[in-house]
Amino acid sequence: MRPDVSAARGPAWVLVAGGFHQRGGMDKANAALADLLSERGCRVELVAHHFDPEYADERRFVPHAVPRPAGSFLLGELLLERRGRAVAAAASARPGGARVVVNGGNCLWDDVNWVHSVHHAWPAFDAGAPLWFRAKNRGVKAWARRRERAAITAARVVVVNSERTRRDVVEHLGVDPARTRLVYLGADPDWGAPSPDERAAARAWIGAAPGQPVVAFVGALSHDRNKGLDTLWRAWTALSTAGGGWDALLVVAGGGSGVAGWQAAADAAGLRDRVRFLGFTPRVRELLAAADLLVSPARYEAYGLNVQEAVCRGVPAIVSATAGIAERYPAELSPMVLADPEDARELAVRLLAWRERAAEWRRRFEPFAGQLRAYGWRDMAADFVDAVSPDVGGAAERGERAAAGAAR
């Protein structure tokens, strides 16, 4: 039974995030931290736009909902910062004070900043997009960079999700490396390899033919092409029209302003029967049950939770070398790391190499999958607390995690 927040006796924490729910990596990470702090008896105040019902439960948390007027991202961010600073100031003024955790540039406060991406290291990849989108994209990027620099440089502790992100905050923002702490994202232990029945049902859902290999792509399809679907598409069309018997089905999960354009491109290439566009879907777990490979040729990726989730489900993944999760790939999986996310030819070669030994690659990923699944969201949250405030309970739990880490 979790403690009633009204009786909480542990240290007070304020967490400022876009949301506390299970639908996105950053928000899932913040939710896991909130859960752990609540279980340890802390008073936890949450400031966000979106809450799953359990995070709006006033017996466990003190939620502060912040609107997005007219659906405006910019207005919502400004209101989130205003509310976040007010809640942080009030909590810090109480006896015992409070720890305050913000995310990137979402709120200027001088305690802990949990950085999930770095806009200063993330260019706009919108060549060919409509002029209005390019102007808006660059304006938003410049605004985000100003907020990011102010918030991250003000923090006493900067928690990063990869060594890549650590390098970015040091090189682009001048953060002292001694102020940084690395905490990798956790995994869902129950996101293991699917059962035969689950896999069969998932393949039927996406319409895969018996025995047909399924290649998955998971990422937003904006006019900005950071996620690299254009590179994958160039490789895919080359393989599909080369007459070499390329027989795989591409399944694309992700919504955004670019979906219609990609569907039109598939029609123009005569490949509509070789690709499925799911749009935004909450059924990524099912998609990965059907998949034989995930491809993530992202140009910028601070971590790459889509890759981690695929590997945990037993799906091999080709990932850009610049993605944070690529640094966790063991040496024996290096042929699945894409050196240049712009190079469609390199990607096509790697796709062919995978296709020739698909079953072998699935086996080769199994140890890595087990390693990732062994480090859950609770482990991540506990390591986060240890990194920024090692005196907040959990001594026995830290010993258990240390023993488990040694075993891994």
Residue 157 pLDDT > 90, yes or no? Answer: yes
Q: Does residue 135 sit in the same domain as residue 152?
A: yes
Would 191 be classed as within a structural domain? no
Closest CA to 309 of 325, 297, 331: 325
pLDDT of residue 244: 73
**Domain extent at residue 170:** 5-186+376-407
The residue type found at 300 is Y
Q: State the Cα angle at 348 between 346 and 349, rounded to 5°.
A: 65
CB-based contact 36:3 (threshold 8 Å): no
Would 319 be classed as within a structural domain? yes
User: What would the pLDDT profile of 367-398 be if each residue is shown by its tens digit?
Assistant: 999 999 999 999 999 999 999 986 544 444 44
Would 113 be classed as within a structural domain? yes
Q: Does residue 255 sit in the same domain as residue 395?
A: no
Domain tally for the chain? 2
The residue type found at 368 is F
Q: Does residue 53 sit in the same domain as residue 140?
A: yes
Q: Does residue 265 sit in the same domain as residue 352?
A: yes
Residue 380 CB coordination number (10 Å): 21
Q: Does residue 163 sit in the same domain as residue 69?
A: yes
Q: Does residue 305 sit in the same domain as residue 392?
A: no
Q: Does residue 403 sit in the same domain as residue 350?
A: no
pLDDT of residue 137: 85
Q: Does residue 213 sit in the same domain as residue 358?
A: yes
pLDDT of residue 408: 46
Q: What's 223's domain CATH number? A: 3.40.50.2000
Would 20 be classed as within a structural domain? yes
User: What would the pLDDT profile of 201-244 be if each residue is shown by its tens digit?
Assistant: 999 999 999 999 999 999 989 888 999 999 999 999 999 988 77
Residues in CB range of 142: below 8 A, 6 or more apart: none
User: What would the pLDDT profile of 304-340 be if each residue is shown by its tens digit?
Assistant: 999 999 999 999 999 999 999 999 999 999 999 999 9
User: What would the pLDDT profile of 160-181 be if each residue is shown by its tens digit?
Assistant: 999 999 999 999 999 999 999 9
pLDDT of residue 214: 98
Q: Does residue 170 sit in the same domain as residue 206?
A: no
